[in-house]
Amino acid sequence: MKILITGAAGFIGSHVSAELLRQGYDVVGIDSMNDYYSLELKRDRLRELLASKRFHFLEVDISDFGQIESVSNKIRADKILHLAAQAGVRYSIDHPHAYSSANLVGHFHLLELARKWEVDNFVYASSSSVYGGNTKVPFCETDQTDDPVSFYGATKKSNELMSHSYSSLYGLSASGLRFFTVYGPKGRPDMAYWIFADKIKRGAPIKVFNQGNMKRDFTYIDDIVSGTIAALEKPAREFATGAPHRIYNLGNDQPEYLLDLISEIESALNLEAKKQFMPIQKGDVPNTWAEISRARSELGFQPSTTLHEGIEKFMHWFSARGDRYK
């Protein structure tokens, strides 16, 4: 079984690739290797994957259809896991073109590739950001998602609509995974937990938005990996009625205060953060919370890592390597 993974040098992509290789799959990874954050971190993730003879890598920009056509002529995969995207809610406010290119055009190109290959299953990354201004918690897959508060969230909602149309038109079995605040070792340096750890370690002040009244459904990377692989192994056609397209929340079902996250990092470093309390930022929402009964029943998804355990594992990795990726 050969699986194509886009964004293979990314945080989630590299972790999922490593687990699939461990399970005996053949993996072809593609990534644009852009410099949105540390290229050295991306290269280190790739270096670990390339130690396996069953992993092959191609540097490809998914927004370039010529490069995608070249991939389609060189290889063929049974399934596609599409994780490549321009990430970041706040970055999308000032750099919308990066999101239209990678998240809209790039997603379309992968749908076309999946149609051409007639893959058994197409799984792609959506985001909890699609819930936007929704005030009802917990967030359920059947909730309205037509009130995005960030352009990033709007592109992810667009990905879901595009995928549904391909499922309806061409019978493509597709599953969209709404990830909720994923964290852990080898994560992204632009994420809050990494920024907090770096600044607290250096004695620099940290900005705490919405005066600290923020809650996030922090989800540890190993739990996300298990849910993602389950979605790959259980095509949407097994559960969907009508078009074979299914949406799943992948979260911890345990929202935590931002101040509790900071407290865990302070404890791990044995240091006290210098906190600057700020108003909520444009594009942010005060709370996220995943209702995961669908993922539990259909995918067997059962997150088990507490915030304390997850931050402890991250800090163990970060303390030894974090300075390498500034």
Catalytic residue flag (residue 152): yes
Spell out the alpha helix ranges (H) of the chain.
11-22, 39-49, 65-74, 91-94, 96-99, 106-117, 151-170, 192-202, 221-233, 258-269, 293-299, 307-321
Secondary structure of residue 40 in the 3-state scheme: helix
Q: Radius of gyration (Cα) for the chain, nearest Å?
A: 19
- Is the C-alpha dihedral spanning 180, 184, 187, 189 positive or negative? positive
Contact between 90 and 283 under an 8 Å Cβ cutoff? The reply is yes
Which residue among 91, 124, 131, 152 is the active-site one? 152
- Is the C-alpha dihedral spanning 44, 323, 102, 152 positive or negative? positive
Token pair of 46 as six digits: 């790739």
Rounded distance, CA 288 to CA 179, Å? 11
If we measure between CA atoms, which residue out of 245, 193, 238 comes closest to residue 216? Answer: 193
Q: Mind telling me the catalytic residues?
A: 152
